[in-house]
Amino acid sequence: MLKRIGASLIVKSKLIVNSYNFKLHLPVGKLNHTINRLQELRVDEILILNTSHSAKPASDFQELLKECNNFKLSTPIAYGGGIESHQDANSVIRSGADRVVISLKTLLNQPAFSKINEVLGEQAIILHLPIDIVGDNVQIFGYEKFSLDQISSKIPTNWGGEILISSVQQDGAKLPNLELFDTCVMQLGRNLKYIFTSGFSTSTEILNALDNDFVSSVAIGNFLHRSELSIRKIKQGISSKIEVR
């Protein structure tokens, strides 16, 4: 199974944005152009994270996907934004997503989390943990009362889903914090599978991240929207070290 090179698309008000420290969002363009381009460049998967979602995630997702009706969308899509129940999750999948991205809020609602697992299967779920460093503490953005150990205890042993780790400090920066990612893996558990995002812009950084046995994917964010970079170039850059598609 190949390690994946994916794209992380942050959406606000139906537009793709460049995100900086989770606070500043600058519009980049329409979803359909970007998805079409990424697909042509053979991106392995696309994560769509909707920051301006409503209480009806499936409707939001359908609205976004409408723009992609004029081409054959045949790339794996994971969608996140307001998914809090199995009904939400199933509706999003039925609308065209292959996996759902849920937040810590949904994990903490353990009956809802269990039901999503039961209905969709573990492999269809990505748990997003945005990591914030406050002083010497590593914590989840917006959930300062919870330690990573406490969060780890809520995730089933040998869970087949994946954990998406992003970093507030590295969001929009041009350098990933691999040490922080390693800390998260150590504290959350080595029996889980991880997707790293935030700050990736070079083949070397991506190779270093994928060198971690527990990392199954790196998702590139803001840097993908710069014209000189393409998924294809990144893949070419790492193809001498690991097998890519």
What is the residue whose two structure tokens read 């199974």?
Answer: 1
Non-local CB neighbours of 229 within 8 Å, separated by 6+ positions: 201, 223
Nearer to another protein, 9 or 17 (CB): 9
Q: How far is the CB of 74 from another protein (least distance, A)?
A: 5
Nearer to another protein, 173 or 242 (CB): 242
Q: How far is the CB of 142 from another protein (least distance, A)?
A: 27
With vertex at residue 140, the alpha carbon angle to CA 22 and CA 9, rounded to the nearest 5 degrees, is: 40
According to DSSP H, which parts of the chain are helical? 31-40, 57-66, 86-94, 104-108, 110-120, 148-154, 178-188, 203-210, 231-238
Nearer to another protein, 121 or 142 (CB): 121
Residues paired with residue 193 on neighbouring β-strands, in sequence order: 162
Task: Name the residues that contact another protein, by CB under 8 A.
Answer: 1-4, 39, 42, 44, 65, 69, 72-77, 90, 93-99, 118-124, 158-162, 191, 193, 216-217, 245
Q: How far is the CB of 9 from another protein (least distance, A)?
A: 17
Nearer to another protein, 40 or 144 (CB): 40
Read off the tokens for 160.
């087949």
Quickly list DSSP for 11-72. Answer: EETTEEEEEETTTEEEEEEEHHHHHHHHHHTT-SEEEEEETT--S-HHHHHHHHHHTTTTS-
Residues paired with residue 163 on neighbouring β-strands, in sequence order: 127, 194
CA distance linking residue 140 with residue 138, whole number of Å: 7
The conformation of residue 143, written as its DSSP 8-state character, comes to: B
Q: How far is the CB of 73 from another protein (least distance, A)?
A: 6
The conformation of residue 156, written as its DSSP 8-state character, comes to: P
Nearer to another protein, 85 or 90 (CB): 90
CB 192 within 8 A of CB 159: yes
Nearer to another protein, 29 or 121 (CB): 121
Q: How far is the CB of 121 from another protein (least distance, A)?
A: 5
Q: How far is the CB of 156 from another protein (least distance, A)?
A: 10
Nearer to another protein, 11 or 125 (CB): 125
Q: How far is the CB of 4 from another protein (least distance, A)?
A: 5
